[in-house]
Structure 1
Amino acid sequence: MSAPSQALTAAEVLALPAVVDVWPTVGRIYGIGRTATYELARADALPVPVIRIGRKCRARRSDLLKSLGIEDSTGVAAPALPTENAPHHTSSH
């Protein structure tokens, strides 16, 4: 069994791409080894939803941030709805 390498810092988690591999990334974040990571993914028991693409297991960075209680300060949030900043207001003159 392989032991996870050093856990990721909050800054490293924030710098991750939008979707990451369950192993080694998610395993490292939670401090669990390869075998346990895949067993938990297979049982849908990881703290984040697993996206299965063929035999690959992935997880969203946004789900990781949420599960860790890290606020995404990168400014990569979903864009505001057009109605919030719509320049075409109907006004009575």
Structure 2
Amino acid sequence: MTDKPAIDHRTLTVGDLLKLPPTTDVETAGRAFGMGRTKAYQLVRTGKFPCQVVECGAGYRVVTADLMRVLGVGQNTDTDHAPAA
């Protein structure tokens, strides 16, 4: 696994979220909430990130299903252009 974000652009759409693997990096999940890398990691370290985070080796991964649940992303969502948050 690499530390590179799963999606390489700034704004995540619902379609982008639906393409994520079962877990994603903290930076990508933070962007889905409209926050930067520093804030996302700060929330993870303090246990206040808004969805489930798991420790994986020396890093963290965010559970994509929980990310989508918290954001209200479901199967009946316009996936082409809608921003995630």
TM-score (norm 1): 0.67
**Which entry has the higher C-alpha Rg, 1 or 2?**
1
Identity across matched positions, percent: 37
Aligned length: 68
Distance 1:20 1:72 in 2: 19
Aligned residues of 1:50 and 1:58 also touching (Cα < 8 A): yes
- Structure 2, unmatched stretches of 5+, are 1-8, 77-85
**Structure 1 unaligned spans of 5+:** 74-93
Residue 33 (structure 1) shift: 1.1
Partners of 2:49 and 2:29 lie apart in 1 by: 9
Higher relative contact order (CA 8 A, sep 6+): 2
Instruction: Describe the SS at the equivalent of 1:8.
Output: coil
Q: Which runs of 4+ in 1 moved over 4 A?
A: none
RMSD, aligned CA: 1.4
Partner of 2:15: 11
State TM-score, norm by structure 2.
0.72
Distance in 2, matches of 1:54 and 1:16, equals 20
